[in-house]
Amino acid sequence: MLQYAVNRFLHTVVLLFLISVFVFALMKLAPGDPVTVMLGADYNPESYAKLRSELGLDRSVVVQYLIWVWRFVQGNWGTSYISGAPVARLVLHDALPVTVYLSFWSLVFALVIAIPSGVVAALRRNTWVDYAGMGLAIFFNSFPSFYLGIVLIWIFGVSLGWFPTMGYVSPGADVGRSLLHMVLPAFTLGAWYAGLIARITRSSLVDVLNQPYIKVARAKGVEGRAVVYKHALRNVLIPVVTIVGLQLGGMLRGAVMTETVFALPGIGRLVTIAVLNREYHLVQATVMVIAIMFILINLMVDVLYRFLNPRVREA
């Protein structure tokens, strides 16, 4: 077990190093720099050279990278070129909680809708319930989230006035308003996810219900509902958990669009603006945080696996 933990840790460190090099190189290869963006209409070659030197951007790329790594591991993530605010505060204090909050409610929404829908569709397969459920699942799975967001804003925000159309309210400030503000963004982000999970749940359950041990259980006289909930569903959860874990990264990707459409000050919006402004430190730190989150989620999925599947535990 210790060996496993050490290996896992070393893999993680190497992976994070490679990610940091890749992102740094990619940002440096992209044309343009933050100095041009910062100067805007006040650009002139002299002020450009002065500011570039002041920000240390005239040094070699390797030196810039090494300085960044050295400071990053010491907890000094630098400051935003444009705003001057500390990067660590922007990422960890300001943006991350918003994205985690949005992702949490999107996941809750997706699971609450998708698993029952998938189960019902599997149990009533090849009926209109199955076709309607899976049709909706494919629809939400294929609908671009930014467009769905705008459609929802216009229907439920502007026309019906049921939900706020934009903005983030911290749950610490007002729980009720905070939840109300999350309804449309969580639906937008969770819809794609719900479609995917519902389809996986259905197909897995259909597959499991045809397994010999289910037939044995039925032959032993276990009633229909108990067969599903006690024997089949636990095995269905294994592929579902795998997909949930793998696709949480997809949720962060979707958060970029959702946060932009609903004006939520989360990681997705932060990184989008940072990339456009060529804020190297900010992009680097945000990507590292996303990578660490992704790795942690995968670790959690592994642990859950061991809980759900005794064979993995014994291996």
**Contact residues: other proteins, CB under 8 A:** 30-34, 36-45, 47-48, 50-51, 54, 82-85, 90, 94-95, 150, 153-154, 157-158, 161, 164-168, 260-263, 265, 269-270, 273, 276-278
Instruction: Decide whether 48 or 294 has the Cβ nearer to other proteins.
Output: 48
Kindly state the smallest distance separating residue 277's Cβ from other proteins, in Å: 7
Kindly state the smallest distance separating residue 30's Cβ from other proteins, in Å: 7
Kindly state the smallest distance separating residue 259's Cβ from other proteins, in Å: 9
Is the Cβ–Cβ distance between 136 and 192 less than 8 Å? no
Kindly state the smallest distance separating residue 169's Cβ from other proteins, in Å: 10
Instruction: Decide whether 261 or 291 has the Cβ nearer to other proteins.
Output: 261
Kindly state the smallest distance separating residue 45's Cβ from other proteins, in Å: 7
Neighbouring C-beta atoms of residue 306, cutoff 10 Å: 14
Instruction: Decide whether 19 or 261 has the Cβ nearer to other proteins.
Output: 261
Q: Which residues contact residue 121 at a Cβ distance below 8 angstroms, ignoring those fewer than 6 apart?
A: 129, 130, 133, 134, 198, 202
Instruction: Decide whether 32 or 135 has the Cβ nearer to other proteins.
Output: 32
- What CA–CA distance (Å, rounded) separates 16 from 65? 14
- What CA–CA distance (Å, rounded) separates 268 from 289? 12
- What CA–CA distance (Å, rounded) separates 22 from 44? 31
Instruction: Decide whether 98 or 198 has the Cβ nearer to other proteins.
Output: 98
- What CA–CA distance (Å, rounded) separates 164 from 304? 36
- What CA–CA distance (Å, rounded) separates 302 from 122? 27
